[in-house]
Structure 1
Amino acid sequence: MLVQIDHASPVSLGEQVAASVRRAVAEGTLRKGQRLPAARALAKTLDINMHTVLRGYQILKEEQLIEMRPGRGAVVSAAAPDHALAVDACRHFVRLARQAGLSGPETLSMVQTQLHA
């Protein structure tokens, strides 16, 4: 299944929808120009509210990963970055760092250490 969600996760359902699509693009399951499932159909499949799916799609639109086309729905952008998986991993890392109580500068320092390792 293209989009998977975990109702027990502390991550919002809309962000989980966006993360699933990011992963699919990064892994090549979804290619540039391909249509995403209609929000209503995906919501029914996932047993969530359609507006939650649309919120996830809006996140992806703001990241320029997808385009919302009237009458055609959501389509993976031709300008979609090829680093979508890295963006998703970065979001996850930041979430973990915040949960661990790390400050912004401490988190950046950890990343810089890894870049220079």
Structure 2
Amino acid sequence: MTKAFAIPALAVALAAPAVAAERYEAALDCVPAEVALDYTCIVQLSRGGVPVADAAFTVKPDMPSMPLAHNIAPVPAAAAETPGEYAVPLTLDMHGRWVLRLDISAPARDVVVIDHAFEPE
């Protein structure tokens, strides 16, 4: 029984780095808009260090210090001029530390979570 378990476990362990290399990576840059608590964010999406063009995803903000207290709908990302960059307009309820959940549906499914502090200017 131990041998039967060891072989699949070894296969999973050896495949893990390859699976991790295929995960999406995201960088975030947000600037305040003219209206208080509105931000224009640019998400740089890559996979294996290569910018991902033609991605489809939404961004769902949530405040970890107040789980489920803010009911902000997911915002669809729109392709920007630079390949791999996507514009996301966010309207938050308050300043502070937020997590942004990127639910990626294309070209492959994945979830990326970004921790970001939105502070007053």
TM-score if structure 2 supplies the norm length? 0.28
Hey, which of these two has a bigger chunk of strand by percent? 2
Hey, which of these two has a bigger chunk of helix by percent? 1
Question: Which protein shows a greater Rg?
Answer: 2
TM-score if structure 1 supplies the norm length? 0.28
